[in-house]
Amino acid sequence: MSTPVENDFNMIPGQTYTFKLNLENLITKPTTSTMQADLQANAPSFVNNNMSVTWESQGWNWTTNVADVQFTYNGDGSDVISDVANAIIATLKSGSNDDFTFVAAYADNAGNVNTSSNPLTDLTKPITDAATDILNKVGQQTSKTAQDVLTPVEIAVGIVVVLVIALIFTAGKSGGVSGGPEGFKVGG
């Protein structure tokens, strides 16, 4: 997995780069072909070489607002990452009026870049982890409480059963239960 390149890094001619851009338009999402056409028509010439645009495919599709713009840099090496990122974002804004923010740049193909940098997933993961932890603790406490409540009830039922059995066999001298035309009789 690749690591991001520093924003003030001078780009290397002939190197393939992948720029991750976060879409700020939450309602509309441009197609990759629209974005690629905008970049090919309006981006600086050093970005147009072997360009491809893809959306990251993580989690739920509607939460995936990170686009990977891959190209081979063919400038003179005087361009820095942040300047090229700003040029790409300005091109997308002027072409289709899409608002993007720069996430990171990688000196690698999009397929080799660590795709776990979805900003929404990164923000929600601690929340979902905490919620899972809370639900587990609530489940454990509920189970413990149920055990605490059931134990005295079970003891009480057991005591009542023992008393009824003792009453049946100890009532009267003869013990036992007898039945006749008058009904049932305990102890004789």
pLDDT tens sequence across 55-67: 886 555 455 688 9
Is there a contact between 47 and 73 (Cβ–Cβ < 8 Å)?
yes
Task: Look up the CATH number of domain 16-115.
Answer: 3.30.70
Is there a contact between 64 and 118 (Cβ–Cβ < 8 Å)?
yes
Q: Flag whether pLDDT at 20 surpasses 90.
A: yes
Please give the full DSSP string across 41-92, using - where no structure is assigned. Answer: HHS-GGG-TT-EEEE---SSGGG--EEEEEEE--S-S--BHHHHHHHHHHHH
pLDDT tens sequence across 45-55: 888 778 899 88
pLDDT tens sequence across 126-171: 565 555 566 556 666 666 666 666 677 777 777 888 887 777 766 6
Pairing outcome for strands 66-72 and 16-23: antiparallel
Domain assignments of the chain as residue spans, ordered by start: 16-115, 124-174
How many angstroms separate the Cα of 5 from the Cα of each of 47, 84, 113, 157?
17, 13, 12, 71
